[in-house]
Amino acid sequence: MTVHVDGLAIDWLGYATVRIEGPETVVYVDPGRYGVLTGKWTPDSEAAADAHPPATDYRPKDGDAVFVTHRHHYDPDSIERVASDDVTLVTFDGINVHGTDRTDVRPADLPVTLRSVGLESQGLVDDVPFWTISAYNHPDGPHTRPDGTPVHPEGFGCGYLLSVDGTRVFFAGDTDVLDGHAALDVDVFLPPIGGTYTMDRHAAADLADAMAPELVVPVHYNTFAAIETDSSAFVADLDERGVTVELDEA
């Protein structure tokens, strides 16, 4: 199911993958991983199967701009599946393939126009203004590794605020709720709600209530057991607060 708002078509394609299509531009954020774009994703539970987009062998190659938040969501094969011939790839500058065993293909090795960004960056890609927004787990919060370090330490990645044909879309990335999030001027909010590594549905609902966007479309849940959650309960929670939510699931 495609979600429509202010002339945009928004598709959650599984895990953190989002496609945003405006009248003139197609944007992807964090495409791929776990087989969601190769047709190989399988749910860990029946509940997840009913509340997650099905895996497809997806290769439209129509993306004018592709944004990657951090190393965990860097998937070269999926980037090439969605990228058009003249795509611009925007990656957080902390991505280092030497720190992972998932791929040895560097962003610079891809046949794309590459743009690396840091924290508090802003720019314009294919007529889409963008701003990077901090994304991390609190050092004293619940989303830490056994040694006590955050799963996503500060400076490891970012979120993106995108203005697509005048509609301001906030893709939060893998993050807890942070100071300043609620003050952002946002039309469409795309929060992670799976918990474990990011804010959960309760924290995301509180933030959405404070932010007061026109529409909320949750992502980053039910792809695997650790991030399974009740998306219907998330909708019910925000409905009670008068915040509009649409799910893009199976």
Domain assignment present for 41: yes
Q: Which two tokens stand for residue 183?
A: 């003050």
C-alpha distances out from residue 248 to 11, 17, 96, Å: 7, 12, 31
Domain assignment present for 106: yes
Domain assignment present for 127: yes
Domain count, the chain: 1
pLDDT of residue 79: 98
Residue 99 lies in domain: 3-241
85's CB contacts (< 8 A; 6+ apart) are: 61
Q: Find the Cα–Cα–Cα–Cα dihedral 57, 215, 127, 179, rounded to 10°.
A: -110
Domain assignment present for 248: no
Domain assignment present for 160: yes
pLDDT of residue 96: 82
* Predicted TM-score of the model (pTM): 0.97
135's CB contacts (< 8 A; 6+ apart) are: 69, 70, 152, 157, 158, 159, 172, 173, 174, 175, 178
Domain assignment present for 247: no
Q: Which two tokens stand for residue 161?
A: 């605020």
- Which of 109, 38, 42, 100 is closest to 76 using CA atoms? 109
- Which of 181, 198, 194 is closest to 231 using CA atoms? 194
82's CB contacts (< 8 A; 6+ apart) are: 19, 28, 31, 37, 58, 59, 60, 61, 62, 63, 66
* Neighbouring-strand partners of residue 231: none
Name residues of the chain where pLDDT drops below 70. 94, 99
Domain assignment present for 250: no
Q: What share of the chain is helix, strand, coil (3-state, %, to 5)?
A: 20, 30, 50
Domain assignment present for 246: no
Q: Are 140 and 154 in contact (CB under 8 A)?
A: no
CATH of residue 36's domain is: 3.60.15.10
pLDDT in tens, 171-193: 999 999 999 999 999 999 999 99
